């Protein structure tokens, strides 16, 4: 049975005990949340780095909350850098059509490792941090 590319890898976010939507409903990212992210990312942070990142993330979250609080009309015209961008000067949208590459094997042949017509990425060394 063939598995999709994404099924070959464990999703690191499955290890985080938060559900989708938890973050925007909260007023701030807690130290516990950031600690969980740091653990999943397997990085080491000094106390100063941890506190700095936590403050910056919460500053960004505050700005997001402020932006989402701005009341907007339902049908806003598009603008570029604050200037009107009427339909008359917009390039028409092109149809999204998939056009297969004529010789994908030419691309695959340039990879250092392949298997069954797919590019195989090297193993990433893993080291558990203490």
What is the DSSP track for 59-93?
Answer: HHHHHHHHHHTS---SSPPPEETTEE--GGGSPPP
Domain boundaries, the chain: 18-70
Helix (H) or strand (E) holding 124, with range, is none
Of 9, 10, 11, 50, whose CA–CA distance to 33 is shortest? 50
Note whether 16 and 36 are within 8 A (CB): yes
The Cα diameter of the chain in Å comes to 60
Per-residue pLDDT of the chain in tens (130 residues, 90 and over written 9): 343 334 444 444 455 454 545 544 557 899 999 998 888 887 889 999 999 999 999 999 999 888 888 887 777 777 777 787 787 888 888 889 999 999 999 999 998 889 998 998 877 777 777 7
Convert the pLDDT of each residue in 15-47 to its tens digit: 545 454 554 455 789 999 999 888 888 788 999
pTM: 0.44
Please give the pLDDT value at position 3: 38
Please give the pLDDT value at position 80: 76
Q: Give the chain's radius of gyration (CA, Å).
A: 23
Half-sphere exposure for 90 (CA within 13 Å, toward CB)? 12
Percentage of residues in the chain having pLDDT higher than 90: 29
- Length of the chain measured in residues: 130
Please give the pLDDT value at position 8: 40
Note whether 38 and 14 are within 8 A (CB): no
Phi-psi bin for 82: left (phi > 0), alpha (psi -120 to 50), beta?
left
Please give the pLDDT value at position 52: 96
Please give the pLDDT value at position 77: 74
């Amino acid at each position: 049975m063939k598995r999709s590319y994404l099924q070959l890898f464990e999703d690191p976010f499955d290890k985080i005990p938060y559900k989708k939507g938890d973050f925007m409903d909260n007023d701030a990212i807690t130290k516990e949340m950031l600690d969980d992210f740091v653990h999943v990312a397997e990085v080491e942070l000094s106390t100063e780095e941890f506190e700095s990142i936590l403050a910056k993330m919460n500053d960004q979250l505050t700005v997001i909350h402020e932006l989402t609080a701005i009341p907007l009309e339902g049908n806003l015209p598009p603008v570029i850098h604050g200037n009107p961008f009427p339909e008359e000067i917009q390039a028409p949208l092109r149809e999204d059509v998939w056009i297969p590459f004529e010789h994908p094997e030419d691309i695959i042949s340039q990879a250092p490792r392949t298997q069954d017509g797919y590019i195989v990425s090297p193993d990433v060394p893993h080291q558990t941090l203490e």
